[in-house]
């Protein structure tokens, strides 16, 4: 009988962190379905992996288009009985500018790619996970989602919103065996980080292998105690996260919430 491999979908898998993740999952024995907007980059990466004897297929996908996402999901599920892991990696960032100088289309385009895209992929694929008794969603988030920024309000807002998608998916999915995680990759040297003013002159970078290792640990189920929370490559390891979970995680640990001004804050 042919080998049955676990299946992972990696959006934005043609370059940067996404390409590293696609390779890492393929080398770990997954059947990898990776996407890029034009399809050419995804197919190039998939072809490279296939020539090495790994299982990968690249497809074109605009993650902001509901009909296209559904068609892609249907095609993936025709090729495979199940999707075990969804990695929402595709994302964009706007040119730096104060909010009042931001281009409206560029600002909203960030929300479409970084928020609508993961929502649509989850909406299309999580029902099959539920039907199969479980699965895991890894959303590529960022420390930017935990704070405001003077010049990239769109990106920071999108990552805060993405954390709410992760949290909501965890709460709704946990009884069905579905787990969801925010994976902050740290600062990996990519085209996107090079365009961010806060990283100009940076000399310390997160190694891509650290991101891949943490993503594989999340996908394996060994870190399910962190579902609904954020982990950070380059700082966290599978071992450190297991130890923290074994010691007991406060309910709001590594989540985004409102900080009270004191014990008598009526909003807390």
Tokens of 24: 């890492």
SS3 content of the chain, % helix, strand, coil (to 5): 50, 15, 35
CATH architecture of the domain 7-247 equals 3-Layer(aba) Sandwich (3.40)
Write down the domain spans for the chain.
7-247
Q: CB–CB of 216/28 below 8 Å?
A: yes
Q: How far apart are CA 159 and CA 167, in angstroms?
A: 12
The reported pTM is: 0.94
Q: Which residues contact 237 (CB under 8 A, 6 or more apart)?
A: 210, 213, 214
Catalytically active residues are: 155
Instruction: Dump pLDDT digits (tens) for 33-84.
Output: 999 999 999 999 999 999 999 999 999 999 999 999 999 999 999 999 899 9
Instruction: Dump pLDDT digits (tens) for 74-127.
Output: 999 999 989 999 999 999 999 999 999 999 999 999 999 999 999 999 999 999
**CA distances to 66, 87, 89, 104 from 121, in Å:** 9, 9, 11, 25
- Helix segments in 11-98, DSSP class H: 16-27, 40-51, 66-79
Q: CB–CB of 22/90 below 8 Å?
A: no
Determine the pLDDT at residue 122.
98
Q: CB–CB of 20/47 below 8 Å?
A: no
Q: How far apart are CA 159 and CA 144, in angstroms?
A: 7
Q: CB–CB of 226/242 below 8 Å?
A: no
Q: Which residues are 139's β-sheet partners?
A: 88, 182
Determine the pLDDT at residue 150.
96
Instruction: Dump pLDDT digits (tens) for 174-222.
Output: 999 999 999 999 876 666 655 556 656 555 767 999 999 999 999 999 9
Q: How far apart are CA 236 and CA 182, in angstroms?
A: 13
Q: How far apart are CA 255 and CA 132, in angstroms?
A: 28
């Amino acid at each position: 009988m042919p080998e049955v491999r676990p299946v992972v979908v990696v959006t934005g898998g043609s370059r940067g962190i996404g390409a590293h993740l696609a390779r890492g999952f393929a080398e770990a024995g997954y059947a990898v379905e990776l996407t890029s907007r034009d399809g050419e980059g995804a197919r190039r990466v998939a072809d490279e992996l296939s020539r090495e004897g790994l299982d990968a297929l690249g497809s074109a996908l605009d993650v902001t288009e509901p009909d296209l996402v559904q068609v892609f999901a249907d095609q993936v599920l025709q090729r495979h009985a199940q999707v075990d892991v969804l990695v929402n990696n595709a994302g964009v960032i706007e040119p730096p500018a104060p909010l009042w100088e931001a281009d409206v289309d560029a600002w909203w385009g960030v929300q479409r790619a970084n928020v609508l895209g993961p929502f649509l992929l989850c909406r299309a694929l999580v029902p099959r996970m539920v039907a199969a008794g479980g699965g895991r969603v890894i959303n590529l988030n960022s420390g930017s989602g935990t704070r405001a920024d003077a010049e990239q309000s769109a990106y920071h807002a999108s990552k805060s919103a993405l954390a709410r998608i992760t949290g909501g998916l965890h709460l709704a999915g946990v009884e069905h065996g579905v787990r969801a995680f925010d994976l902050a990759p740290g600062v990996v040297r990519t085209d996107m980080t090079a365009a961010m003013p806060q990283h100009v002159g940076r000399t310390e970078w997160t190694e891509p292998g650290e991101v891949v290792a943490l993503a594989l640990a999340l996908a394996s189920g060994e870190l399910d105690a962190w579902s609904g929370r954020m982990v950070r490559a380059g700082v966290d390891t599978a071992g450190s996260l297991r130890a923290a979970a074994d010691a007991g995680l406060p309910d709001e640990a590594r989540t985004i919430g409102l900080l009270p001004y004191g014990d008598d804050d009526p909003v807390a």
